[in-house]
Amino acid sequence: MSVRYGKPLVFLLCLVPLGVLIGRGASGALGPNPVEAITHFTGDWTLRLLLVTLAVTPLRRLTGQAWLVRFRRMLGLFAFFYAVLHFTTYLWLDRFFDLGTIAEDVLKRPYITIGFAAFVLMVPLAITSTQGWIRRLGRRWKTLHRAVYAIGVLGVLHYLWLVKADLLEPAIYAIILAVLLGLRVPWADLSARLRSAMRRRSWMAPERR
């Protein structure tokens, strides 16, 4: 896929969930509790896009397609976009900016505490996603953006602790996250290097007659 044409396509695809949500709202299809429906919908898409963002690097390594990295920033920013919608829905439509109630929720409800922590961690990553910040921070930029792993873990825990009955969907997200993080541990890179070295040796070894 050409990056030139692929980026507009990915941009539009990332807006599809928002269009679906607006369509459901306009048609009255959000159910008996619209605020809860919006909160869950935006939260789901925050986590999905976060996992897609985390999948970019493993896919690049497995396929050798370096151009995939060009979509990572856009996907990450859209994950933050849906996180902002998720958080704003809670602040505005659910709690009506009642700071006392919000503070009590953050302190007393573990799933809200870790959800809030995940959102706070996402803010500096979104702010420093520009080329200017990459140049200014240098090597520290990569260190800062490794927080995305913690955000992924907190996001999955937020979902797991929120759900009271059906744990299937958050469990699927947890498994996907575990695989994506597992592909990043040092032994995964070492294994890939060993396989590459073994292939080179097999090619270079003289044929036995």
Contact criterion met (CB below 8 Å) for 66 and 60:
yes
Q: At 183, is the pLDDT very low, low, confident or very high (cuts 50, 70, 90)?
A: confident
195 confidence band (pLDDT: 50, 70, 90): low
Mean pLDDT (whole number) for 122-136: 94
pLDDT tens figures, 66-95 = 888 889 999 999 999 999 999 999 999 999
Task: Look at residue 14 and tell me whether its pLDDT is greater than 60.
Answer: yes
Q: Please report the pLDDT score of residue 208 as a whole number.
A: 46
Burial of 46: CB neighbours in 10 Å, binned 0-12, 13-18, 19+: buried
Instruction: Characterize 180-192 residue by residue with b for buried, 16 or more Cβ atoms within 10 angstroms of its Cβ, and e for exposed.
Output: beebeeeeeeeee
pLDDT at 186: 65
Q: Which helix (H) or strand (E) holds 182?
A: helix 168-182
pLDDT higher for 168 or 18? 18
What is the number of helices (H) and of strands (E) in the chain?
10, 0
Closest CA to 121 of 81, 80, 90, 175: 80
Q: What is the pLDDT of residue 157?
A: 95
Q: What is the pTM of this model?
A: 0.86
